[in-house]
Amino acid sequence: MRKIAVLLSISALALSGCGRQADWPPRMGRNDQTVASITQGSELTLQIPKEAKVEYSGFQQAFVGTFAPVAGSFEVSGGKLISKVGDIQKEAMFKDWAYVYAAGDKKKVLGWGPCLTSGEVIVSNIFVRSVPSEYMVENRFDTEDFGPGFTLIRLDPSNGDRLCIWVKRPDTGMKVVGVSDFGSGTFSGKVNDSIDYTDLVLVNTAGYIGTTTTFGDKKFVRQKEGWFLGTKKMSK
C-alpha cells in the first residue's frame, strides 16, 4: 500500500506540473488553430499607416531631458495601428495618451506616447518578453494567448483600456521624423516590438512595469520583479 501511495503522489505532481511551471505562461489555446496557419519565420510587424496617422494637439512642456504633454491641455484625436503576422491582421485605434515614468516614481516623467483604446493588437508574448526595469507605463487591457509566441491584446474603451506606444526623443539615439515639440502635429511609422532595436520612432510598451491585464478570469500586474497574480509572483 505504501508503494502505491508513493506512485500516486508522483503522478499527482506530474499532472500538476510541479507548481508554477504548469501555470506559466498562461494559456487558453483557443487561438491555436488560427495561429497554426502562420508559417515558421513569419515576422510580426506593427505599422501606423500614412493614411491613418496619429493626430494630436495641445501643449507640451519640458521635463528632465524630454518634452511631454501637459495634462488637461493635450489630446490625441485619431490614428490607427495595424499588426500583422503571416496572413493574420488586426487593427486598433488611438484616442488617448499616457506618460512614461521612471519605475516606482510617478513624479519623474521620462516621456509620453499615444494610446490605443479600441480594437485588437498582436504583440510578442508579453508574459515571457524581457522589458526594461527602469520604465513604468500604466497600460490596461484584456489578453489571450495567440499561440506560444504571441499575445492578442483586446482593447475596450468602455473599460478604460489603453496600450501606450512610446514616442522616443532624439537624445535616446532613436530617429524622430515629424514629431512636434509643441502644439499640434501628426506622425506615422513602424512600431518597435523588440526592445533591443533602437532606431525607430515608436516603442510598444505592452508588458512594461505598471501594466495590468485580465487573462480569462485572472488579473495580472507587471511589477519590477515580474508578473504577479495578487501577491503571488507568477513569472520566473
Read out DSSP for 133-176? SSEE---EEEEEE-SSSEEEEEE-GGGT-BEEEEE--GGGT---
Element (H, E) at 15: helix 2-16
CA atoms within 13 A on the CB side of 36: 6
Q: Enter the C-alpha cell of residue 221.
A: 500586474
Instruction: Please work out, in degrees rounded to the nearest 5, the angle formed at the alpha carbon of residue 228 by the alpha carbons of 224 and 234.
Output: 105
Binned at pLDDT 50, 70 and 90, residue 190 comes out as confident
**What pLDDT shows up at residue 180?**
43
If you count them, how many residues does the chain have? Answer: 236
Residue 201 DSSP code:
S
CA gap 119, 96 in Å, rounded: 14
Q: What confidence category does residue 196 fall into, taking pLDDT thresholds of 50, 70 and 90?
A: low
**Cα separation, 201 vs 169, whole angstroms:** 8
Full-model pTM: 0.84
Task: Give 183's pLDDT tier (boundaries 50, 70, 90).
Answer: low
Q: What gap in Å lies between CA 115 and CA 26, rounded to an integer?
A: 25
Q: Does the structure show a pLDDT above 90 at 159?
A: yes
Q: Answer yes or no: is pLDDT of 151 > 50.
A: yes
Sequence-separated (6 or more) residues with CB below 8 Å from residue 101: 107, 108, 109, 110, 135, 136, 137, 210
Buried b (16+ CB within 10 A) or exposed e, 20-58: eeeebbbbeeebeeebeebeeeeebebebeeebbbbbeb
Contact in structure between 142 and 148 (CB atoms under 8 Å): no
Residues 110/205, Cβ–Cβ less than 8 Å: no
pLDDT tens-digit series, residues 24-78:
999 999 999 999 988 888 889 999 988 999 999 998 888 877 788 999 999 999 9
